[in-house]
Structure 1
């Protein structure tokens, strides 16, 4: 049912032989060496977050600051850099992809609503402010992730981000074991973390 809800062929929703083939491509990406290469991104993000908090506190001698707005933004920045070498800069600006991401994951959706959408998928296509915003955000995520995949496939020099590693690993496999373009797209698809 999850696969139908999010329209994805990613590793988190596939089963059987398809899941095994996808896992064969994905497992090598999470070696200690690869994760270690991404560590500076996490350190840099934590320093950036600390700097923002210090600036918020300033000379006010405040005992409390609100962190709930910043944590999702810094998390998105880390996902962008470590995952795709994409600069969201969501703590300093408001990019199109950042807005789409927050529209998808920032919704406080009732579990009953999710169950109804699962049982009656046609409900997702009934125009409303919620569904229109949802599908516009999905379209934005799809367009930008497609662009990122194409750029990484055509790049002569690739970095150590997740997308570069998966493209490199996929290209080294025999053709019959490689992920299809749609499967590759699904592995980097943010719809997989969207609750609807």
Structure 2
């Protein structure tokens, strides 16, 4: 029997007044119910070095490199900005390379129209990093209307859809963790 997967929930928005952290907290609670361990990485709290130092294939240690490396999988919580995902998320992706490799991810996007264009742009970038994106992803249409005193209150169909995406993430996490252990990729 294998140990539970360790999932990083990554909040991608850097804005001060933002839904991203609220949604990441909700997603983290769902992940904990399913996986037992998760780590919330809020990019607004994780400064990266100056891009002048960025090298192809990742650029060494950052304040989040070790946390990303420990992950068996990821939940990206991202807004849609101008039909894509935010620049801060692209910077975090580019500053790392091997930390992402051969790991799965699911996406919880949000925006006026659900943020699914951010998800589609993110899929291509993640594939370049040898990542697998779950087929099921969740796009939240105007989630600010579902806020309560204790945070985000997901409508039942949203919670069910996210749990299904987490089910896929769970399978891929176990499968790819075994593959990384038993058949490491020779570059």
Higher normalized helix content (fraction of residues)? 1
Larger-gyration structure (1/2): 1
Which of the five TM-score ranges fits, normalised by the shorter chain? Answer: 0.3 to 0.5
TM-score (norm 1): 0.36
TM-score of the aligned structures, taking structure 2 as reference length: 0.37
More strand, by proportion: 2
With CA pairs under 8 Å and 6+ residues apart, which has the higher RCO, 1 or 2? Answer: 1
